[in-house]
Structure 1
Amino acid sequence: MEKLFDFHFHLLFKHLITVNQAGKKFALNENVRTTGLAQFLNDIFGGPFDSQASPKQVSESSLRLGVIALLSVEHAFANRVLHVFGADLSGVLPLDKDVFDRTKNGLTTYYAEFNKQIDFHLKTAAELSKPPFTIEYLNRSSWAGLTEQQITDKLTLGDKRYFSFSIEGGHNLSDVAIHQKTPSRFPELKLKELQDRADVDFISINLCHLSHIPEQTLGGFAQGLNKTSQLAFSSEDFMPKTGLGLTELGKKVIRQALTHETKPILIDVKHMSVYTRLHYYRFREQLAITNPAVEQLPIMTSHTGFTFYTLDDYLQNKRFRSTPDTENGVPISKVAPENRRIGRTNDIINKGLFGNPWTINLFDEEIVEIMLSKGLIGISLDQRILGASNLAIDSNRDPFFEEEYIARPEWEKMFRDGKLPGATESLFGGIAPSKQERHIMLLCLHLVHAARVGYAGLNWIENTSPWDHLCIGSDFDGLINPINGFDNVIDLNKLQGQLLKYLPQADKFLPFNTDQKALRYKDDGTVDAAFLNQVIDQFLFNNGLRFTVRFLQNWKTG
């Protein structure tokens, strides 16, 4: 059975925020399951509430390496849960009411809730280290002094599973009452406390997550929840409305993360608004001038999709429509990007395949920027991120995709005036398929696109390629709607066979950068099978293995 790496999943998050029918926490050897009406609603929403990567499921899977994302529940998620057509149905879900009430009513802090997550993972570590789980949490201090080969051997030999931790969202650093108008002043000191701890270690932190945190704004975030998702969780804080790029507080957090002497933490650009991401790339360059060690730290994004646009084309040629407006007296801006067909299947009725052009996803220039930094791009397995939009006839689309909110200052500078951070010029120089097949093709089209963009944008030395920088970033148990056919981590066992079948098709039909193929071909035009197998192995495991080794050597190799 092939080994797998997952750059972003949630091992115990659902165990922490749910209770079973008896009002008790689900046991570690149980999957979180909905029943009755909750199960019906879970099916309608695409399966976000049941376990997708529980310890039990992980123990039955090929997952051997990965990154567990820890986060405290945001106020926006606790604000109004599952109000459908005016009816409050939140009681049918197996949610731990105490967790959500504490957050909704400001009776706790994000930092306190985050530390409870850490404590729960450490408290259960002894049980999870035993069969059938055999899980060990990675800490750089425990691997100090080992050579690269010794680390590689230890990570790959035997049946143990080794997982790092990440911090999903800068809100986890806020130590003031949630949503109570008291500002959090020193999040960088809370980050330092976490970095200084001997019992836990973190590979990365997202500066932003899915909602506005009024007590602590570190930078602009991108809208991530679509209309369907907001039926389950509803809050105005999911919609970006104010702010432009990194705040001074956000810069302090970034500086602390990247310049800690013994435990630097990478910045995960997922969930930042596009302007904030561009601002970060430049701030990182400036920081490296006075802190040369920062240059060794790669740029990464743990669970993303692509817009299939260059930023220049998107902005200069206005590949969107937008109109500023007001809501409840507040200036707002919405942008509806053009729907862009990225591929097709052989289905006569439902053959078109489209990406998700929301700005939460990466533009082509950013793919190159991350590869240039020797970073890693985790491809999400959330069908909404990859581009699936309609449960029925998904290829019958309007000219424009669903509107997304863009913070008004960002809209004015980028989308109206075409200006980037600090400058006005460019920042970067035969059988009808099943739903499962449609979604696996979306995944393959993302991989092919990244490889083609990488080949076109950079010069690659021998034995290197864009394929060195791609991996799975499933976001399982992050309340996602997974791609059909891959409902949980166990299903990833069949991913290799699907990639062998559909990657060549994606390379044939992707209509962008057509003069550059992602795969290699023999003189007779057939796919080079050895290269195809090699890049699949890289995507499924080897790239993640190499990245983990670099982490355990504190980024001294690369």
Structure 2
Amino acid sequence: MPFFDFHCHPGLKPQFSDPATKPSPWDFINAKLVVSRDINLRINKLFNETLNSQSNLTQLLQNEVKLIGVILHAPEQKIGQGLSEKKIVNKGKVNLIDTKQLAYLASGVHSYELIKEELRWLQEAVPEIPGAKFKIVSNTADFNEADNNTVFGAIIVEGLHCFFNDPGVADAKEKFLENFNEFTDAHTVVAINVCHMQQNPFCNHAHGIQFINPTYFYPTTKGITPWGEEIIQLMMDKKILADIKHMSIKTRWELYTWFKNDDDSFKQPLICTHAGTTGISIGDKAKYMKQSPVVKFDDKGNKVYEVVHTKPQSRHDKKTYHNCSSINLYDEDIEFIFLSGGIIGLSFDQRILGFADETILLSVTTPHDVEYISDKEAGFFFGPVDPATLKLKTDDEGVWASEDFDDLDQSLYVEMHRRFLINNIIHILWVANKHDGIDLKKAAKQICIGTDFDGLINAIDCCKQADGLQQLKEDIKDPLIDLFISEGLTAINVDEFLDDLFYNNGKNFILNRIRAMRG
């Protein structure tokens, strides 16, 4: 059975290595901790297996992942800076990460050359498997479903910052536009994330990174900027989709308003390539807070609010919970994506799906999730009140309580993570089914897999890498049947849905977009 992955990073991790010795995107990366000259230890327990390969090109080929949204991404300046501040990294203890390369990334002036080099490396690296190939799909004729020796990739760029050289020079905007047009004219780019983890000149982002100094990644602006409007319009003119992942909720709301026509149609489809669900309506976005928001400032004096969310219990499976941080999709986000004719890719990051337990990362080993809200968007997020006066949810009813978390049996994590993934699937379909303007059967064709594999994620234990996709597909069938019945979703055939979820939906969406762009 072939598979599709809407958000896959086979070329990201080599960017942190010495360019002269960096791994091939075909190679399995087995990160190690250097203890002495002659002793290396696996580093999995220290970095939650995030540095090891989850989907290099060999893994994708061997596990029938036929077509991917191949993500081109230049690690941002603050990511390079933040990683270099980790003692285990700056002492040269991690064999995958080169400190000189981190300094190169931290300079923040090489983003455009980094994505060009990533694309070149993906296309030119030589596999050890005879006859194996990686091929960019520039038009629909490039995709051959019967070719079992090729991994096909449709280009998605994660972050408009990737088109900058030096963003601080006087002619940065002109050079950005030159790079943007050069790249998008030469290549079929299906979608672009307007923003990513770090503040940018195009729009405000949602806080989304947990293991590096959070002050580097505070969202500090408001909605879409005038320059952001210019570039998004240019993207629309070129039929390039805006991936809403990483946008703040205020930014997303402005985009929906802009994209929606007077007759309720949309200017173009909305997509989220690697999503999780909040499990709540946008009106409840400030409801599940553990404590009053705390005022923080970054090094430039920008004010943000630190928000600690509790995790609301699922209405579908009482043993699962949602991550209601605003980087995830509220019910209205799901509705807009479906109504626009877009598609949702499901992330395999356990935190995004609502789970977060890693004994090494003590700061996130809680049944809570922390994010930061820009002071400029405080009115939109908290409402017309002083955030310090918000009514807090002080009881443990309907949320993941600390005592529940303390009692977790790690031997059950595989099953639990599978249930959290299923919960996100069911919630998306439940939202569609209760909306009068959304056809459930059509919505079932608008969900796919978007793992974020080989990004810096802590993958769900039931599918840590690409070789787990087939077993996962088999394992979620019976639980889905039960939940389809209990949630009134029996109009959907489960076997057909699973084939569509893991392959057909994403493949068809990508090919239809490329057909609309290039033929």
TM > 0.5 between the two? yes
Query: How many Å separate the matches in 2 of 1:43 and 1:318?
Result: 31
1:428 alignment partner in structure 2: none
2:172 alignment partner in structure 1: 184
What is the CA distance between 1:321 and its match in structure 2?
4.8
1:336 to 298, 308, 312: 308
CA contact (8 A) 2:132 2:149 kept: no
What is the CA distance between 1:182 and its match in structure 2?
6.0
2:8 alignment partner in structure 1: 9
1:75 alignment partner in structure 2: 77
Structure 2 residue 271 is matched with structure 1 residue 271: no
What is the CA distance between 1:387 and its match in structure 2?
1.2
1:465 to 422, 442, 459: 442
2:218 alignment partner in structure 1: 239
Judging changes above 3 Å, is the alpha-carbon distance between structure 1 residues 182 and 338 closer, same or farther for their aligned structure 2 residues? farther
Structure 2 residue 519 is matched with structure 1 residue 547: no
Query: How many Å separate the matches in 1 of 2:476 and 2:365?
Result: 30
Judging changes above 3 Å, is the alpha-carbon distance between structure 1 residues 96 and 279 closer, same or farther for their aligned structure 2 residues? same
> After the TM superposition, which residues 146-295 of structure 1 pair with which residues of structure 2 at under 5 Å, given as runs?
154-155=144-145, 160-176=150-166, 184-186=172-174, 187-197=176-186, 200-213=187-200, 217-226=201-210, 229-230=211-212, 234=213, 236-240=215-219, 242-260=220-238, 264-285=239-260, 295=266
Query: How many Å separate the matches in 1 of 2:484 and 2:292?
Result: 33
CA contact (8 A) 1:83 1:90 kept: no
What is the CA distance between 1:96 and its match in structure 2?
3.6
Query: How many Å separate the matches in 2 of 1:218 and 1:39?
Result: 42
Judging changes above 3 Å, is the alpha-carbon distance between structure 1 residues 86 and 28 closer, same or farther for their aligned structure 2 residues? closer
> After the TM superposition, which residues 116-515 of structure 1 pair with which residues of structure 2 at under 5 Å, given as runs?
116-124=117-125, 127=126, 131=130, 133-140=132-139, 154-155=144-145, 160-176=150-166, 184-186=172-174, 187-197=176-186, 200-213=187-200, 217-226=201-210, 229-230=211-212, 234=213, 236-240=215-219, 242-260=220-238, 264-285=239-260, 295=266, 297-315=268-286, 321-327=291-297, 329-342=301-314, 352-391=319-358, 401-417=368-384, 434-460=412-438, 464-507=441-484
Unpaired segments ≥5 residues, structure 2: 35-39, 386-408
445-454 or 55-64, which deviates more: 55-64
What is the CA distance between 1:31 and its match in structure 2?
1.2
Query: How many Å separate the matches in 2 of 1:7 and 1:398?
Result: 29
Query: How many Å separate the matches in 2 of 1:183 and 1:306?
Result: 40
Can you list the C-alpha shifts for 1:391-426, whole angstroms capped at 9, x where unaligned?
47xxxx9998233111111113331328xxxxxxxx
What is the CA distance between 1:85 and its match in structure 2?
7.3
Query: How many Å separate the matches in 2 of 1:123 and 1:322?
Result: 52
Judging changes above 3 Å, is the alpha-carbon distance between structure 1 residues 496 and 476 closer, same or farther for their aligned structure 2 residues? same
Query: How many Å separate the matches in 2 of 1:83 and 1:3?
Result: 41
Structure 2 residue 112 is matched with structure 1 residue 111: yes
Query: How many Å separate the matches in 2 of 1:190 and 1:357?
Result: 36
Judging changes above 3 Å, is the alpha-carbon distance between structure 1 residues 314 and 77 closer, same or farther for their aligned structure 2 residues? closer
Judging changes above 3 Å, is the alpha-carbon distance between structure 1 residues 398 and 225 closer, same or farther for their aligned structure 2 residues? closer
CA contact (8 A) 2:350 2:458 kept: yes
Counterpart residue identity of residue 5, structure 1: F
CA contact (8 A) 2:356 2:366 kept: no
The secondary structure found in structure 2 opposite 1:476 is coil
Judging changes above 3 Å, is the alpha-carbon distance between structure 1 residues 403 and 460 closer, same or farther for their aligned structure 2 residues? closer
2:395 alignment partner in structure 1: none
Can you list the C-alpha shifts for 1:43-94, whole angstroms capped at 9, x where unaligned?
2332111111112211211201111100111111111326557994454241
Query: How many Å separate the matches in 2 of 1:62 and 1:220?
Result: 37
CA contact (8 A) 1:191 1:256 kept: no
The secondary structure found in structure 2 opposite 1:385 is coil
367-376 or 79-88, which deviates more: 79-88
Judging changes above 3 Å, is the alpha-carbon distance between structure 1 residues 476 and 541 closer, same or farther for their aligned structure 2 residues? same
The secondary structure found in structure 1 opposite 2:433 is helix
Query: How many Å separate the matches in 2 of 1:537 and 1:61?
Result: 15
CA contact (8 A) 2:78 2:216 kept: yes
Judging changes above 3 Å, is the alpha-carbon distance between structure 1 residues 202 and 189 closer, same or farther for their aligned structure 2 residues? same
CA RMSD, Structure 1 to Structure 2 (Å): 3.4
Counterpart residue identity of residue 247, structure 1: T
Judging changes above 3 Å, is the alpha-carbon distance between structure 1 residues 326 and 444 closer, same or farther for their aligned structure 2 residues? closer
2:498 to 505, 530, 536: 536
Query: How many Å separate the matches in 2 of 1:67 and 1:189?
Result: 24
1:511 alignment partner in structure 2: none
Judging changes above 3 Å, is the alpha-carbon distance between structure 1 residues 237 and 182 closer, same or farther for their aligned structure 2 residues? farther
What is the CA distance between 1:450 and its match in structure 2?
0.3
Number of aligned residue pairs: give it. Answer: 485
Counterpart residue identity of residue 532, structure 1: V
What is the CA distance between 1:30 and its match in structure 2?
2.5
Judging changes above 3 Å, is the alpha-carbon distance between structure 1 residues 161 and 498 closer, same or farther for their aligned structure 2 residues? same
The secondary structure found in structure 2 opposite 1:255 is helix
Structure 2 residue 28 is matched with structure 1 residue 31: yes
Judging changes above 3 Å, is the alpha-carbon distance between structure 1 residues 280 and 440 closer, same or farther for their aligned structure 2 residues? same
Judging changes above 3 Å, is the alpha-carbon distance between structure 1 residues 368 and 188 closer, same or farther for their aligned structure 2 residues? farther
What is the CA distance between 1:325 and its match in structure 2?
1.8
Can you list the C-alpha shifts for 1:5-48, whole angstroms capped at 9, x where unaligned?
0000012222333259xx62224542121124575543233211
CA contact (8 A) 2:31 2:44 kept: yes
The secondary structure found in structure 2 opposite 1:403 is strand
What is the CA distance between 1:203 and its match in structure 2?
0.7
Judging changes above 3 Å, is the alpha-carbon distance between structure 1 residues 547 and 283 closer, same or farther for their aligned structure 2 residues? same
What is the CA distance between 1:324 and its match in structure 2?
4.9
The secondary structure found in structure 1 opposite 2:431 is helix
Judging changes above 3 Å, is the alpha-carbon distance between structure 1 residues 334 and 400 closer, same or farther for their aligned structure 2 residues? farther
CA contact (8 A) 1:380 1:472 kept: yes
Query: How many Å separate the matches in 1 of 2:123 and 2:518?
Result: 27
318-327 or 184-193, which deviates more: 318-327
1:523 alignment partner in structure 2: none
Counterpart residue identity of residue 481, structure 1: N
The secondary structure found in structure 1 opposite 2:434 is helix
Judging changes above 3 Å, is the alpha-carbon distance between structure 1 residues 163 and 355 closer, same or farther for their aligned structure 2 residues? same
Can you list the C-alpha shifts for 1:463-488, whole angstroms capped at 9, x where unaligned?
93321111110000001110003121
Query: How many Å separate the matches in 2 of 1:224 and 1:449?
Result: 22
Query: How many Å separate the matches in 2 of 1:491 and 1:318?
Result: 34
CA contact (8 A) 1:19 1:26 kept: no
Matched-pair identity in %: 22
What is the CA distance between 1:459 and its match in structure 2?
3.7
Judging changes above 3 Å, is the alpha-carbon distance between structure 1 residues 25 and 413 closer, same or farther for their aligned structure 2 residues? closer
Query: How many Å separate the matches in 2 of 1:118 and 1:556?
Result: 20
